Each structure stands twice: as C-alpha cells, then as structure tokens.
Amino acid sequence: MDSRPTKFIFVTGGVASSVGKGLTCAAIGALLEARGLKVTVLKLDPYINVDPGTMSPFQHGEVFVTDDGAETDLDLGHYERFIETRMSKLNNFTTGKVYETVIANERRGDYLGGTVQVIPHITDEIKRRVFQAAKGVDICIVEIGGTVGDIESLPFLEAIRQMRADVGMQNALYIHVTLVPYIAAANEYKTKPTQHSVKELTGFGIIPGIIICRSENKLDFKLKKKISLFCNVSENCVVNAPDVSTIYELPLMLHNENLDQRIVELLNIWTGAPNLSAWQKIVDTIKNPGNGRINIAMVGKYVELTESYKSLTEALNHGGFANDCGVEITYVDSESIEQRGAEEVISTAAGSQGIDAILVPGGFGERGSEGKIAAVRYAREKKIPYFGICLGLQIAVIEYARNVAGMKNATSSEFVSDSDCAVIDIMDDQKGVDKKGASMRLGAYPCILKKDSLCRKIYGQDEISERHRHRFEVSNRFRTRLEKSGLVFSGTSPNNELAEIIELKDHPWFVGVQFHPEFKSTPRNPHPLFKSFVSAALNYRRLRQSSSGQKEKAQSPDDGSHFPPEVN
C-alpha cells in the first residue's frame, strides 16, 4: 500500500485582491500533476454566507457548480480547467459553513460544559474540513481567500499555521502571492507593500517558503534580491509572475521560473520533469490561430460584468482551440435590444467584423427578457448559429412558441406568475421550496439523446451527464404542441419527464440546453457542444464572407445574393 503522506501547500495573498491567486493555485496544480502527482485544490472563503449561491453576480462573479451539486466560488472553475481532479462540495467552504457546523454541534451538546471558542473549535473545524478534502491525494493546495491582514481571514491563517506542526515541517509549504506595483511617477516597481505583507504574515507565525510576485512586466533580478533580503526567503524562491496574454500560459511561465522545482525540493518529493506539451500547444494555438477569429454576440443583462460568465467565456475559447481559431465575444445588453431592435443592435455590435453566432447565457429574472427573445428570433430567422444555455433554452422555447407555434402570450412563470401560457414553468419539486440557499435543481443529472439528432451526433453517445442550476423547466403541458410545430426535443431526462435539449431541423445550428455544459469544458478537453458551436460559427463566417465577396464583385446590387446568407 502507498503510505506517502499528503503534502500541503497553503497559498495566501498579499497587498491587493484580484492578483490572480486562484489562477496561480490552479497553475501550480497543473505543474505538479504534470510531474505525475495526484493533486487537489481547495478554496477557503472568509465571508459569512454559507456558500456563494445566494450572492449577486455583481458581488461575486460566477457561481460554479460541481457534479455533486455544490454552488461554489468561481476559482473552482479555474481549478477544474487546469487539473484533472474533479471538484466536489468538499473543495470550497466559507466562514459561514464552518460556524454553521460548530453551532449545530454546540446545540447538539457535543461540547457540553465547555466554552466554544475560535481557537480551538473554529480552527479545528477548518482543519477537519481540509483533511477531509485532502484524502487520497499527494498534494493538497489550499487557497485562503482575501488578503493577509483582513480581520475575517484570521481563523483560517491560524488553522493553517497549526497544520504545519500537525503534519510535519517537510509536509507543508506556505506560498505568498503578492503584488509588486509599478509607480509611474518614479518609473519604478515597489517592493515595500510586499515587505509589509510578509511581515504581517510572519506576525501570525506563518513563514512563507516561496513568494510569488505579480507584476505588470518582468521584474529585474535586483528586485528579486531585495525581496529575498527583506522577506527572509532565499533568492531562488522569489518567483516573478508578470501579466500573461492568456491564462493558459501560466503553467509554462511559472515552470520557466522553476517554481515546480522549488516546490518539490521544499516538500522533499522526488518526481521526473513535467511534460507540458499540451499547455504549449494550447498557447501556440491561442497566439497563432490558423483559422483566424470568430465573433460571438453574447446577449445578457450582466454583460458589463464578464466575471459572471467566466466558465462560459473559457468554454468558448476551448471551442476555439479545437477549431484552431480565436473566439472574440461581443457583449450585448439585452435591454438595448428592447429599445433599438435585434437587427440594428446585433448586426452593428462588432463593427465591421460582423457577428458569426449568437448566444444567450444562463440568467435570472424578467429584466431584459424581451430583448433576449428578439435576439433569438433574429438568430432563428436569419439562420445565424444560436446557442441557448439554461435561461437561453427557456427564452428560445418562448420565442418559438410565440412566433412559430402561434401561442402569442407564451412566457415563463418566472416572468409572469399567473400566465395561462407558461411554456416555461416552475418544476414540480420546486413548488414547495421556500428557502433560497442551495435549493435549486443542482449538479449532474443524466440525459438521453434522441437518435439522429444533431446533439446525438455532436456528443457521439446516447447518454450524457451535465450539470444544472435552475428552478424552471419546459412545461410538459405544451411539449406536444411545440413538437408538432417543429421544435425538436433532442435530449430528455431518462424518464422523459424533463426537456433537457432543444434543436431546430431547418437551421444550420440552433441548440438550447437546460444544463450548463460550460462547467465541464477544459482547455485540454474542449466540450463537444462548444467545439461544434464554434465550428458552426466558422462556417457561417465563411458563408458570410463569400456572399459579401460576391456582392462586392457584382456590379448590380440586385444580384440575388443575400446577407446574411440563407443556409440549410
């Protein structure tokens, strides 16, 4: 039996948030995996919400959903995109969750007679959860949310301080990710904030073994020397991570800084050199896409907040890698479509480049829904590739019901609670739900694909499993009528009760899915739906370009060519 102990890497952040701590953890995971180690990554969030599921995308960005139905921090999406190990509800917990458990224990009488305190009760619960998630791996990377010095992260810092003594000095390593800002007026990078941050961390009893310095451009060797001197870290353990043009370059960049070598030395692990050829290939494709770039209009209401579509934008990029092309996303505010019409807004959204496909992502609430419906109609009628995800499927069903199946008042009961034509309705088992947290239909469910459908062809298999996060569904009251007017239900739950995928026959690529395929796409294994959608967009672009080329060649504007072309 393998008796190697699990080694822990605790990653803290200094100076500022948003310096890419999550991505750094993910990239470290990728490097250690490439050395043949089994890795997992955890995110410990210091806020008091029990999970991010009830937080607005404006506050928190995307809510990432795991197979086992946990609503988690978006960093878990980065982890899954960089490492092979799948995330579960064990991989992310918050102060709120820790206190919830400890208070439940107290009410049960588990600490009867004792005073319940931050140390040891809260810190013990934090450690219990970390050990539980670390079972069976060689390396457990633990990212502490927030920045050192925040009041609310103190119990987490205390817990990881204790853990090094618990597991043995050679089995734990602290990595501090800091920002080294560039001060334009002095034309200099400044190390002082890093010095202060490390000093503060040391004050909690945590001595970093490696400092990763984020900076705009590459730092001079002298600066590394200075940080080494003032922060008590050997020179070769000061790692510079300047901004990269693509996040998928991070493993390569950190490897060039010898980060993985330093980590295995400090943790006393023997491994071979990592094989990073897959990452190199991805970066080469991103920098030099053989098939140019396509432009996708993403129609939603949080468009100014791209963090809320993190997995989706990445999945589209992955679809691009698979087609050797770059993917440009043009965010279109659905409310502007309500004011100015779909044709005008979408056809001009990307300037002279034009739009090659339209996508309506997941979302909640009525605001902007009419604009989304108009966008879907435009895609359907002009035969522009359309991909609807979750709410995007529901919107497509409403559009089809209204404009093809003759149900003029079709809507969703999420938008109109007392409609008699709710083609999208609340799911039966959601009807009695009166709490908001963790109560949607969440996580992976199986779906059976219809023979001869486009989706069956795309997936290449009869049964799939995809992740969900919704309360509403296509109402079975209207399914037959919609089917009779041409809407294809190409994927359903195994008992056929729940519509999971819709598609259209007389359209080059029109697919709506009730689940979120973006959560399962990775750069090394692009999701088949995104691969196929990008390929359809590429085809559309070719047709569009050849038709406008013909138009230019023709003397008369009435030469019979159409823009956009009608393709079947």
- 22 HSE (CA, 13 A, CB side): 19
Q: How far apart are the first and last CA of the chain?
A: 59
- C-alpha distances in angstroms, 509 versus 222, 375, 379, 489, 567? 56, 15, 10, 14, 10
Is-catalytic flag, 231? no
Q: Show the site string, 402-441: x = touches ligand GLN by CB under 6 A, - = not.
A: ------------x---------------------------
Q: Is 390 part of the annotated catalytic residue set?
A: yes
Catalytic residue among 176, 255, 468, 516: 516
Instruction: Please name every residue paired with 499 in a beta bridge, in sequence order, or none if there are none.
Output: 492
Distance CA 559, CA 450 (A): 41
| 469 forms part of the interface with ligand GLN (CB under 6 A) | yes
Residues 311-330 that bind ligand GLN (CB under 6 A): none
Using CB under 6 A, which of 64, 472, 530, 533 touches ligand GLN? 472
Decide whether 249 or 414 has the Cβ nearer to ligand GLN: 414
Q: Which stretch binds ligand GLN (CB under 6 A): 19-27, 133-141, 470-478, 541-549?
A: 470-478
Going by the DSSP 8-state scheme, the letter that residue 176 receives in this structure is E
Residue ranges of alpha helices (H) inside 232-355 are 250-256, 259-266, 277-287, 310-322, 334-340, 342-349
Residue 86 DSSP symbol: P
Q: Does 67 contact ligand GLN by CB under 6 A?
A: no
Count the site residues for ligand GLN by CB under 6 A: 10
Residue 390: name the closest of 516, 264, 485 by CA.
516
Judged by CB under 6 A, the stretch of 80-88, 121-129, 359-367, 501-509 that binds ligand GLN is 359-367
Site for ligand GLN (CB under 6 A): which residue of 99, 182, 331, 364?
364
| Secondary structure element (H or E) that encloses residue 27, with its range | helix 21-34
Using CB under 6 A as the binding rule, whether residue 470 contacts ligand GLN is answered as yes
Q: Which stretch binds ligand GLN (CB under 6 A): 340-348, 358-366, 415-423, 547-555?
A: 358-366
Structure tokens at 503: 């598609």
What's the min distance (Å) between Cβ of 44 and ligand GLN?
Answer: 26
CB 555 within 8 Å of CB 350: no
Residues 238, 213: Cα–Cα separation, whole Å: 7
What is the DSSP-derived secondary structure letter of residue 522? B
Identify the active-site residue in 25, 237, 390, 455. 390
Q: Should residue 391 be labelled a site residue for ligand GLN when binding is judged by CB under 6 A?
A: yes
Confirm or reject binding of residue 226 to ligand GLN (CB under 6 A): no
| Residue written as token pair 């009410």 | 107
Q: How far is the CB of 394 from ligand GLN (least distance, A)?
A: 6
Annotated catalytic residue within 399, 447, 518, 527: 518
Does 55 sit near ligand GLN (CB under 6 A)? no
363 touches ligand GLN (CB under 6 A):
yes
CA gap 258, 377 in Å, rounded: 53
Question: Which one of the spans 184-192, 248-256, 268-276, 356-364 is the region binding ligand GLN (CB under 6 A)?
Answer: 356-364
Nearer to ligand GLN, 471 or 481 (CB): 471
31 binds ligand GLN (CB under 6 A): no
Q: Where are the alpha helices (DSSP H) in 212-249?
A: 221-231
Minimum CB–partner distance for residue 557 and ligand GLN (Å): 42
471 binds ligand GLN (CB under 6 A): yes
Rounded (10°) angle between helices 369-382 and 342-349: 70
Beta bridge partners of 379: none
Q: Is 205 helix (H, G, I), strand (E, B) or coil?
A: coil
3 state DSSP class of 467? strand
| Interface region with ligand GLN, contact rule CB under 6 A, candidates 30-38, 51-59, 360-368, 399-407 | 360-368
Helix segments in 365-453, DSSP class H:
369-382, 391-403
User: Smallest distance from the beta carbon of 469 to ligand GLN, in angstroms?
Assistant: 5
Query: What single letter denotes the amino acid at residue 23?
Result: L
Calculated CA dihedral for residues 308, 314, 315, 317, nearest 10 degrees: 140
Minimum CB distance to ligand GLN smaller for 421 or for 427: 427
Whose CB is nearest to ligand GLN?
362
| Cβ nearer to ligand GLN, comparing 143 with 414 | 414
- By beta-carbon proximity to ligand GLN, the closer residue of 490 and 514 is 514
Of these, 46, 208, 354, 362, which contacts ligand GLN (CB under 6 A)? 362
Would residue 516 show up in a list of annotated catalytic residues for this protein?
Answer: yes
Chain contacts with ligand GLN (rule: CB under 6 A): 362-364, 390-391, 414, 469-472
Q: Which residues are catalytic?
A: 390, 516, 518
